């Protein structure tokens, strides 16, 4: 009899604990369900807001970019026609050089003209320290392997520059500049004369968007060894 009383007393003592545990478990479960419900509701609101929003269009398409490049230059048709007489006349004219540079940007091949311009600036250097500093900058940007804007030069020309870069002179890049000039004259210049950017200028038409071209295969100097140019290379 006493044993039965002890058992029931223990059972009654355990009961509140079990109820407490039950409440804790089911209470936390309700809280988790409440949190999940809130998250789902928030996701639904976000999806609805996206559906309601007006689409935003960015005018950064290839055609818009090239069109903007073309519209920035204003020259007379007579002047533009002169650029077609020779590559030298194009580069010797400020607007011609600017327009040609913009054209090359539409083809993602502006490194050639930028190298040529850098060489023109380099040859005007007088101070020995300035010559060394500029020569190093040109070499690292355009000449060395995997340079950020590496120009397409034959191995022999690059080797000569690499050996002389420690003691550069204002003529260190003359041969390379000549090579790049010929490549542009025989390749990019020919396409430029047929481009909408140039033809619109010669005919006095308002500039129209021109689709960007993917980078074309760059020719090496060796492919033009049989081509003799009588155009002066330096301005």
Domains and CATH numbers, the chain: 77-203 (1.10.167.10)
Is the pTM of the predicted complex or chain greater than 0.75?
no
In the prediction, which pLDDT does 21 show? 45
Q: For the chain, which residues score pLDDT lower than 70?
A: 1-73, 206-235
Say if residue 174 is exposed, middle or buried (CB neighbours under 10 Å; 0-12, 13-18, 19+). Answer: middle
pLDDT tens digits, one per residue of 68-77:
444 455 789 9
**DSSP characters over 133-200:** HHHHHHIIIIISTT-TT-----HHHHHHHHHHTTS--TTTTHHHHHHHHHHIIIIIHHHHHHSHHHHH
In the prediction, which pLDDT does 41 show? 58
Distance CA 39, CA 31 (A): 12
For residue 215 the two structure tokens come to: 């980078």
For residue 146 the two structure tokens come to: 């995997």
Neighbouring C-beta atoms of residue 227, cutoff 10 Å: 10
User: Containing H/E element for 120?
Assistant: helix 111-122
In the prediction, which pLDDT does 205 show? 78
pLDDT tens digits, one per residue of 185-202:
999 999 999 999 999 999
């Amino acid at each position: 009899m006493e044993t039965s009383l002890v058992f029931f007393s223990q059972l009654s003592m355990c009961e509140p604990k079990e109820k407490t545990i039950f409440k804790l478990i089911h209470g936390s479960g309700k809280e988790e369900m409440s949190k999940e419900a809130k998250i789902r509701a928030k996701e639904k609101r976000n999806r609805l807001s996206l559906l309601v929003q007006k689409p935003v269009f960015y005018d950064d398409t290839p055609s818009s970019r090239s069109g903007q490049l073309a519209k920035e230059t204003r020259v007379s048709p007579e002047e533009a026609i002169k650029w077609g007489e020779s590559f030298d006349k194009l580069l010797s004219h400020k607007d011609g050089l600017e327009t040609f540079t913009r054209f090359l940007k539409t083809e993602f091949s502006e490194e050639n003209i930028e190298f040529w311009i850098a060489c023109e600036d380099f040859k005007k250097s007088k101070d020995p320290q300035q010559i060394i500093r500029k020569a190093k900058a040109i070499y690292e940007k355009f000449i060395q392997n995997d340079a950020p804007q590496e120009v397409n030069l034959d191995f022999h020309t690059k080797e000569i520059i690499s050996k002389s870069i420690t003691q550069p002179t204002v003529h260190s890049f003359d041969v390379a500049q000549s090579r790049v000039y010929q490549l542009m004259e025989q390749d990019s210049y020919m396409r430029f004369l047929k481009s909408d950017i140039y033809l619109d200028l010669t005919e006095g038409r308002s500039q129209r968007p021109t689709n960007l071209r993917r980078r074309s295969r760059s020719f090496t100097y060796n492919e033009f060894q049989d081509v003799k140019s009588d155009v002066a290379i330096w301005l």
